[in-house]
Amino acid sequence: MDKKKILLIHTGGTISMSEDVETGAVLTNEENPLTRQTKELNELAHLIVEEPFQLPSPHITQKEMLILRNLIHSYKDKVSGVVITHGTDTLEETAYFLDLTVKGSLPIVVTGAMRSSNEIGSDGLYNLISSIRVAICDEADGKGVLVVLNDEIHTAENVTKTHTSNVSTFQSPQYGPIGIVTKRGVLFHHLPVQHAHFEIEQADKQVMLIKAHAGMDSTLLGAIAQTTCDGLVIEALGQGNLPPAMLPGIKDLLARKIPIIIVSRCFNGIAQDVYGYPGGGKELKELGLIFSNGLNGQKARIKLLIALESRMPFEKLEEMFQL
Ligand SMILES: NC(=O)C[C@H](N)C(=O)O
């Protein structure tokens, strides 16, 4: 059987780094160690390699995410799948950005590593091989952007980094993985729910993310009102409640037509308008805050900036955060 053509995009991160044996610092190398390790990879697929930038993932912004989206679109009819190597810190944000903005049903797999290329037990090459095996698999078609690490296949929408250093860091807390990678093959055991696609030309909107805490007041919201912020996501308490001292700041931002999305700072569950006390979800909803359907804060931020970019009317925002 002919080998499939896969676009392999390296963007940097620990998977492309190595450890300095003297200092113990993990650093970016001039030559990406992954390019030396491609023998096994070429046996799996015909690889076309692109390296648009080499950045640790805390340096990645929505600008680089858009570059990746455009690069994938430029190869759309020339390859049968895409694999992206990426730092793990913001991997879930890039994966979700692509999930919402790449057209078509091409399998797209994002992967990374928790140990750099020369560390004992390095997981980079292994995760990359697993990702290519998923990308060449027919069943990966039409499942949205997938995140593959540590033998598990997750959806971009649900996956999140849950541990600072453990190789099993990527988990989908609400729903679990949708498949596994074994020595014998790739097995999908769940189907992801289909969701929205957004046409955007640019990704310039400024959306901020803050986390609520006991005793929080409007100070930070007041500071945000002085910026050029286009939208705000708040990781609220529990099912979606805020300390009442935040309400003046919330009302001021709403008067400035800044949309505010409510997610929960809890690791699991969905934010909803349940509580009727001051600052409770019911009041927040009546004020016009939008409750998100189970996304975490960083992904709600990505969705909001894309929604604002696609010039969605204010009233439509609520609907799209239910999808
Ligand atoms: N494991 C990693 O890739 C973490 C690294 N700090 C990054 O995100 O670039």
Q: How far, in Å, is the centroid of ligand 1 from the Cα of 204?
A: 24
Mean pLDDT of 286-305: 96
Q: What pLDDT, on a 0 to 100 scale, did the predictor assign at position 144?
A: 96
Q: Which atom of ligand 1 is nearest to the CA of 89?
A: 8
Q: Indicate which residue of 11, 85, 88, 111 is catalytic.
A: 88
Structural contact between residues 268 and 239, judged by C-beta atoms closer than 8 angstroms: no
Residue pLDDT, tens place only, 198-224: 999 999 999 999 999 999 999 999 999
Taking the model in full, what pTM does it have? Answer: 0.96
Q: Is the predicted pLDDT of residue 322 greater than 90, yes or no?
A: no
pLDDT band at 47 (very low <50, low <70, confident <90, very high): very high
Q: Is 194 exposed, middle or buried (0-12, 13-18, 19+ CB in 10 A)?
A: exposed
Structural contact between residues 309 and 63, judged by C-beta atoms closer than 8 angstroms: no
pLDDT band at 21 (very low <50, low <70, confident <90, very high): confident
**Binding site membership of 281 for ligand 1 (Cβ less than 6 Å):** no
Structural contact between residues 261 and 294, judged by C-beta atoms closer than 8 angstroms: no
In angstroms, the CA 143 to CA 31 distance is: 33
Q: Is 79 exposed, middle or buried (0-12, 13-18, 19+ CB in 10 A)?
A: buried
The predicted complex's ipTM stands at: 0.97
Q: What pLDDT, on a 0 to 100 scale, did the predictor assign at position 314?
A: 76
Q: What pLDDT, on a 0 to 100 scale, did the predictor assign at position 311?
A: 78
CATH code of 207-320, in short, is: 3.40.50.40
Q: Which atom of ligand 1 is nearest to the CA of 115?
A: 1
Mean pLDDT of 30-59: 88
Residue pLDDT, tens place only, 162-205: 999 999 999 999 899 999 999 999 999 999 987 789 999 999 99
Q: How far, in Å, is the centroid of ligand 1 from the Cα of 25?
A: 13
CATH 3.40.50.1170 domain locations along the chain: 5-188
Q: Which atom of ligand 1 is nearest to the CA of 13?
A: 9
88 is catalytic: yes
Tell me the average pLDDT of the chain.
95
Q: What pLDDT, on a 0 to 100 scale, did the predictor assign at position 193?
A: 86
Mutate to test the pocket of ligand 1, among 11, 32, 64, 88 (most ligand atoms within 8 A of CB): 88
Between 237 and 19, name the one with better pLDDT: 237
Q: Which atom of ligand 1 is nearest to the CA of 14?
A: 3
In this structure, the residue with its CA closest to atom 7 of ligand 1 is 87
**Binding site membership of 124 for ligand 1 (Cβ less than 6 Å):** no
Percent of the chain, pLDDT > 90? 85
pLDDT band at 313 (very low <50, low <70, confident <90, very high): confident
Q: Is the predicted pLDDT of residue 93 greater than 90, yes or no?
A: yes
Mean pLDDT of 122-151: 97
pLDDT band at 1 (very low <50, low <70, confident <90, very high): low
Q: How far, in Å, is the centroid of ligand 1 from the Cα of 89?
A: 5
In angstroms, the CA 262 to CA 250 distance is: 11
Percent of the chain, pLDDT > 70? 99
In angstroms, the CA 277 to CA 116 distance is: 50
Q: Which CATH class is domain 5-188?
A: alpha beta
Between 34 and 276, name the one with better pLDDT: 276
CATH 3.40.50.40 domain locations along the chain: 207-320
Q: Is the predicted pLDDT of residue 37 greater than 70, yes or no?
A: no
Between 286 and 310, name the one with better pLDDT: 286
Q: What pLDDT, on a 0 to 100 scale, did the predictor assign at position 194?
A: 75
Q: How far, in Å, is the centroid of ligand 1 from the Cα of 300?
A: 21
**Binding site membership of 94 for ligand 1 (Cβ less than 6 Å):** no
Q: What pLDDT, on a 0 to 100 scale, did the predictor assign at position 41?
A: 87
**Binding site membership of 112 for ligand 1 (Cβ less than 6 Å):** yes
Q: What amino acid occupies position 318?
A: E
